[in-house]
Amino acid sequence: MRLLLIIPFMAACWGTGQTCVMDRLTYSGSANGQVLVKILYTNAQGIAGQSIVARPNVQLATFRDPPGIISGGGECWGGAPRQETADAVAWIDASARLPSGCNGVPFDECAPQASDPQGRGTFAIRDGEQNYLDIAIKDP
């Protein structure tokens, strides 16, 4: 299952009892380009899902809502608890080598080059809650 999200902000699922995952990226360098966040979800049975979220530039990828305003973003699902872990990598496609959102590129091949600013993290996903993937993107 491949879920490709190109829309920068989606409606959040605050208060719905669903499991929601949203990335929160930071970057203090000067590179620009599309920002990709690739997430592989795993549980005791193996791969539970995967997604690629794309934003057209660093400014949109690192935008923070003013206090008290929630624009949302991310992905949500309902159903039985899945007890998952999310392995995430976020990077700036500084050389513009990948098509928008890795469209048409196999999931495994949509990946940063060593020269791309990037960050990684592994996160426990709490079922029925809003989860945040806090990733600091750093220059190589």
Checking if the pLDDT of 72 tops 80, the result is no
- Model confidence pLDDT, tens digit, residues 86-111: 999 999 999 999 999 999 999 999 99
- Model confidence pLDDT, tens digit, residues 31-67: 999 999 999 999 999 999 999 999 999 999 998 765 5
Specify the number of domains making up the chain. 1
Length of the chain, please? 140
pLDDT for residue 15: 53
pLDDT for residue 79: 83
pLDDT for residue 104: 96
pLDDT for residue 16: 64
CA distances from 27 to 35, 40, 97 (A): 11, 22, 20
Average pLDDT over the chain reads 85
pLDDT for residue 80: 82
What distance in Å separates the CA atoms of residue 134 and residue 67, rounded to the nearest whole number?
Answer: 18
Sequence-distant (≥ 6) Cβ neighbours of residue 56 within 8 angstroms:
8, 34, 100
What distance in Å separates the CA atoms of residue 49 and residue 85, rounded to the nearest whole number?
Answer: 10
Checking if the pLDDT of 10 tops 90, the result is no
Range of the domain at 104: 3-137
The predicted model scores a pTM of 0.83
pLDDT for residue 2: 38
